[in-house]
Chains A and B, each alone.
Chain A
């Protein structure tokens, strides 16, 4: 499986912003995948596996986060992360991702 680098910019549309549940869900998705994922807000990169780092981004509704994934499943991982920024969790988001 070849290694690819994929970047995507997402807008936080969840009215609550990137809160604890979002951060945990992001870390879970990234930990399940095989790619290294970095989230960047205000030019500050944080590791996608680390909930504490993700929460320190303080991403409110309407703000932009850049996602960078490097690895064999980079595209799929970012596809699974995207709904989380809209506050869509659980089976519905996971199945569609």
Chain B
């Protein structure tokens, strides 16, 4: 699976305004709403589901990366957004580091395979230090989109 298969370009945020976990999640789900990828009336329900998932254990998986996510019956295909915080957000990550890169995923409950393949793609690309560093340094949605495209075209090491 490639980034282009699940990351909505219109929902990419080059600079998160939020300073905390809930704020970051709200901002990213709002971006998916604005992009028309999730229904506006489902906004609160999706945010609550993601926060509930975070209560089970942070999705801050280390190296400055978090993958907040939930299954939600209102979507019929996997949708995702990317956001960058240059300041970093405390996400209670595994390694205690603040999070700079966010990949938020909302998937249909009956498609666990797609969710795993998306996580695999994110993880595989982020294992490449160059991709990770460039993404953290990206300043515009265009920069981010270009990096995701390059990753999809195997232009990074992994």
Which candidate, B5-13, B44-52, B123-131, B145-153, is the interface stretch facing chain A? Answer: B123-131
B121-157: which have CB < 8 Å to A?
Answer: 122-124, 126-127
Which residues of the other chain, B, contact A21 by a CB distance below 8 angstroms?
53, 56-57, 59
A28 in the interface (beta carbon within 8 A): yes
The answer on a CB contact under 8 Å between B61 and A23 is yes
Which residues of the other chain, B, contact A56 by a CB distance below 8 angstroms?
120, 123-124, 127
Which residues of the other chain, A, contact B115 by a CB distance below 8 angstroms?
16, 19
Nearest CB of chain A from residue B110's CB, rounded to whole Å: 11
| CA of A23 to CA of B122, assembled, Å | 14
The answer on a CB contact under 8 Å between B65 and A19 is no
A45 in the interface (beta carbon within 8 A): no
Which residues of the other chain, A, contact B16 by a CB distance below 8 angstroms?
none
| CA of A56 to CA of B126, assembled, Å | 10
The answer on a CB contact under 8 Å between A52 and B112 is no
Which residues of the other chain, A, contact B69 by a CB distance below 8 angstroms?
20
A60 in the interface (beta carbon within 8 A): yes
The answer on a CB contact under 8 Å between A60 and B116 is yes
The answer on a CB contact under 8 Å between A50 and B124 is no
The answer on a CB contact under 8 Å between B57 and A58 is no
A interface residue numbers (CB < 8 A to B): 15-21, 23-25, 27-28, 50-53, 55-58, 60-61, 89
The contact sample of 23 A-B pairs, CB cut-off 8 A, is: A16-B115, A16-B116, A17-B112, A19-B119, A20-B119, A21-B57, A23-B61, A24-B94, A25-B57, A27-B62, A52-B63, A52-B123, A52-B124, A52-B127, A55-B120, A55-B123, A56-B120, A56-B123, A56-B124, A58-B116, A58-B120, A60-B113, A61-B112
